[in-house]
């Protein structure tokens, strides 16, 4: 790849990215990370492919209806790039297993559909000192930000309270759009180049084709990364293989 | 003075967006949003609780800068301000 050079491509090959979810965001995210040559992708999902998923979950085809999303994802990602190690885990990400599932990943992509699990991923990212690439969607709307533990606001600083649960339609291009932003962030992070969406929340309004960003700041009283933090998730385990960001 | 309010996601579906408000001088942010949201009960209820306090998850911005909802009753709006009101989105 001319853009990265051999050194950059080798960096991607050595990287291990944890993708939480193989749905609307997880599909484009995992496909583009695979074609970029990110060496190890771990994809976790507990669901079965349903007909209503197919307008946006492009990892899964009509013939996959009724199949585990993890099995479908594994097959497609291996076919897309046989050089990538694809690990799939058919489970629910919970407090009891989350840290172990993420293991020694170099970063977590948030492709979840609920805030309780997002907060858990945020805590795991803080504990392991690895980035969390956040994305979320609804209808024609989406948001994304990159959380670098110790350097940026964490997810709870930005969203101290979860919005209420609701069932809503999603147009397939929205997770495609937000997923691409997440992948773009992962690649820049791994390559140590560009400016990350750090302390910036990107808001996408597909109805008006308008993207804007909000500056976000650490909350000193944050219960996940600030003074409100309890000892429950205190141990700070330094993850290995975290590439150093280039100094500017 | 003229202030522009933009709602996003669910708030936008209930209340519209790009609403131009003619506000009196000294109007505070919380009252401005309440006035506009009052035009649709469902929209109002999505943003405010029964006590008229911003729901915890609501995010407010004034000219691209975040304003904590707890400070909105003390934050005055000025002519030409652009106010954004939105909920975090949750899907994936």
- Tell me, what CATH number does B9's domain have? 3.10.20.30
Whether residues B66 and A135 touch (CB distance < 8 A) is answered with no
Whether residues A165 and B90 touch (CB distance < 8 A) is answered with yes
Whole-number percent of chain A with pLDDT over 70:
92
Indicate the residue of A21, A143, A212 with minimum beta-carbon distance to B88.
Answer: A143
Residue A235 has pLDDT above 50, yes or no: no
Section A149-159 average pLDDT: 94
Domain assignment present for residue B16? The answer is yes
ipTM of the complex: 0.80
Question: What per-residue confidence (pLDDT) applies to A236?
Answer: 39
Residue A239 has pLDDT above 50, yes or no: no
Domain assignment present for residue B10? The answer is yes
Whether residues A163 and B86 touch (CB distance < 8 A) is answered with no
* Cβ-contact B5, B32 below 8 angstroms: yes
Query: First and final CA of chain A: distance in angstroms?
Result: 24
Of A69-83, A146-160, A234-248, B24-38, least confident by mean pLDDT is A234-248
Domain assignment present for residue B66? The answer is yes
Domain assignment present for residue B92? The answer is no
Question: What per-residue confidence (pLDDT) applies to A247?
Answer: 38
Tokens of A155: 């997810």
Rounded to two decimals, the pTM is 0.88
Residue A233 has pLDDT above 90, yes or no: no
Domain assignment present for residue B28? The answer is yes
Question: What per-residue confidence (pLDDT) applies to A228?
Answer: 84
Partner B, chain A 190-219, Cβ-Cβ below 8 Å: 203, 205, 207-208, 212, 214-217
- pLDDT band of residue A242 (cuts 50, 70, 90) is very low
Collapsed DSSP state (helix, strand, coil) of residue A58: coil
Distance, in Å, from the CA atom of A24 to the CA atom of A40, rounded to the nearest integer, reads: 20
Partner B, chain A 15-54, Cβ-Cβ below 8 Å: 21, 23-26
Domain encompassing residue B29: 2-86
- Tens of pLDDT, residue by residue over A177-215, are 999 999 999 999 999 999 999 999 999 999 889 898 888
- Tens of pLDDT, residue by residue over B64-84, are 788 999 999 999 999 999 999
CA angle A130, A134, A138 (to 5 degrees): 165
Whether residues B10 and A166 touch (CB distance < 8 A) is answered with yes
Residue A117 has pLDDT above 60, yes or no: yes
Whether residues B9 and A23 touch (CB distance < 8 A) is answered with no
| Chain B neighbors of A181, CB-CB under 8 A | none
Sheet containing A210-215, strands listed edge to edge, beginning at the edge strand earlier in sequence: A85-90, A40-45, A16-20, A107-110, A132-138, A141-147, A200-205, A210-215
Domain assignment present for residue B31? The answer is yes
- Count of structural domains within chain B: 1
Whether residues B56 and A160 touch (CB distance < 8 A) is answered with yes
Question: What per-residue confidence (pLDDT) applies to A1?
Answer: 61
Section A29-56 average pLDDT: 97
Domain assignment present for residue B91? The answer is no
Partner B, chain A 148-177, Cβ-Cβ below 8 Å: 158-166, 168, 170, 175
Domain assignment present for residue B40? The answer is yes
Q: How many CB pairs (< 8 A) connect A and B?
A: 80
Query: Which run of H or E residues covers position A128?
Result: helix A115-128
Q: In terms of Cα–Cα distance, which of A146, A139, A115, A144 is closest to A56?
A: A139
Whether residues A23 and B57 touch (CB distance < 8 A) is answered with no
């Amino acid at each position: 790849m001319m853009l990265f050079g051999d050194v950059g491509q080798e960096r991607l090959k050595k990287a291990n990215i944890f993708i939480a979810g193989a749905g609307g965001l997880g599909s484009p995210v995992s496909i583009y990370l695979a074609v970029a040559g990110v060496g190890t992708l771990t994809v976790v999902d507990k669901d079965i492919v349903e007909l209503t998923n197919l307008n946006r979950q492009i990892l899964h085809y009509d013939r996959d209806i009724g199949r585990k999303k993890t099995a479908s994802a594994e097959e497609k990602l291996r076919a897309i790039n046989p050089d990538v190690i694809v690990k799939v885990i058919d489970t629910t990400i919970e407090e009891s297993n989350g840290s172990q599932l993420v293991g020694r990943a170099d970063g977590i992509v948030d492709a979840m559909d609920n805030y309780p699990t997002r907060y858990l991923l945020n805590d795991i990212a803080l504990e392991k000192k690895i980035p969390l690439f956040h994305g979320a969607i609804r209808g024609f709307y989406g948001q994304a930000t990159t959380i670098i533990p110790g350097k940026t606001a964490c997810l709870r600083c930005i969203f101290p309270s979860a919005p209420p649960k609701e069932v809503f339609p999603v147009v397939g291009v929205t997770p495609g759009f937000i997923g691409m932003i997440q992948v773009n962030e992962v690649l820049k992070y791994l390559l140590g180049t560009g400016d990350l969406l750090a302390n910036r929340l990107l808001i996408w309004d597909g109805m008006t084709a308008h993207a804007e960003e909000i500056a976000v700041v650490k909350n000193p009283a944050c219960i996940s990364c600030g003074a409100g933090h309890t000892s429950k998730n205190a141990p700070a385990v330094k993850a290995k293989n975290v590439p150093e960001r280039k100094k500017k | 003075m003229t202030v522009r309010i933009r709602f996003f996601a669910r708030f936008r579906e209930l209340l519209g967006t790009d609403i131009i408000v003619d506000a009196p001088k000294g109007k505070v942010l919380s009252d401005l949003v309440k006035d506009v949201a009052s035009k649709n009960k469902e929209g109002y209820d999505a943003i405010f609780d029964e006590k008229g306090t911003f729901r915890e998850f609501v995010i407010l911005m004034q000219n691209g800068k975040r304003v904590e909802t707890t400070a909105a009753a003390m934050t005055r709006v000025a002519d030409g301000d652009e106010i954004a009101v939105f909920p975090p989105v949750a899907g994936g």
